[in-house]
Structure 1
Amino acid sequence: MTGAKTAVEWLASVAPDPEACRWEWERNPLGVALLPAGRAWDVLILPGELGCATLDVLTRILGRPGPVLAGFGDARMGFLVPPGTASRWLGTGIRTAGAGSWIVVPYPGRATGGVRWLFPPDGSGTLTDPALLELAMHEAAAGLATEQGGPAGRNT
């Protein structure tokens, strides 16, 4: 449980009152907290199908990417990236959460009914490199286009 405790400490450190955040988080029956993005991380939020394919590419390359969240029904996936990434990100269909945004974050190591960690933080501050994430997204999108008979998958 040491890894989960470290992850909890790392996540709660961005809250306006980390101690109150931990206290509420651990007692909240939903097992989630609302935390500010833009301090220790930003979040790039991909549509589910692209997010799953991108995560597949990243795990082939890295083995374990930085922290990754999945939303209700896996309709969206959030990749934690370095602060400042959201303000510089240009990409159609990709939502961002940076400074001034708040995100729902599940307690690491505890099952919740909705938002969950696919790859929880390890407490070290490791995040997904945005350039690598972008390359993985391009590869994933090309693979999805091929599977769906898009331009990359047509024989002419």
Structure 2
Amino acid sequence: MALPTFTQQYEAGDAWLVNSCAHPNLVRDVWASRMLAPIPSGEEWLVAEARLATGYPRLVRIRAEQRGPVLADPVMDVLWWLVPLHAAEKLADVRQLAVKPSGWSLHCPPTGWQIEGRMWITRPDGSGRLTDPAVLAAAFGPGGYRLPAEASR
């Protein structure tokens, strides 16, 4: 079985993003104009926001297969993680993260592009995988995320 091409991966990620909003054709039209498209959170996922300067070192503490989509804006010094709808309660005590409310719009480029300096560090792949809030919270802790003891045997 052949692995998907980059184009196929980008198309799957784009389809997943646009299908999580009420007006997918509008999002595609905005992207075709090479602009950031506002995609509201709350239907499929929420957004957890951190400063890029403090969040990126935490990002690399999370194994790639445990990471959901992560969007970065170096000019604004911001990272955004796409997290499950129940994440707000689980991340409430992580002071370096702010979980945006349902309906908050994430202005994002398509998965394979960089627009206005904004880019996907971990691209949506169409699978719907999101970053587990427990893993994200642990990555912001003093020791970082560690596999459960039984997983390391």
* Structure 2 equivalent of residue 99 of structure 1: 102
> Which one-letter code corresponds to 2:133 in the other structure?
P
Structure number with larger C-alpha Rg: 1
- Describe how 1:11-50 pairs up with structure 2 within 5 A: 11-25=17-31, 27-30=32-35, 32-50=36-54
The 1:52–1:6 alpha-carbon spacing in structure 2 relative to 1, beyond 3 Å, is: same
Aligned to 1:153: none
1:83 CA displacement: 1.5
State the percentage of identical aligned residues: 28
Number of aligned residue pairs: give it.
Answer: 137
Greater helix fraction, Structure 1 or Structure 2: 1
**TM-score (norm. length: structure 1):** 0.78
CA contact (8 A) 1:38 1:84 kept: no
Q: Structure 2: 5+ residue runs without aligned partners?
A: 1-6, 145-153
CA RMSD in angstroms comes to: 2.0
Q: Structure 1 residue 110: deviation in Å?
A: 1.2
Give the structure-2-normalised TM-score: 0.79
Partner of 1:116: 119
Give the Cα–Cα distance (whole angstroms) in 1 for the partners of residues 74 and 52 of structure 2: 10
Partner of 2:57: 53
Q: How many Å separate the matches in 1 of 2:89 and 2:141?
A: 20
- Aligned with 1:52: secondary structure? helix
Deviation at 1:94, TM superposition (A): 2.0
Would the alpha carbon gap of residues 72 and 140 (structure 1) be closer, same or farther in structure 2, given more than 3 Å must change? farther
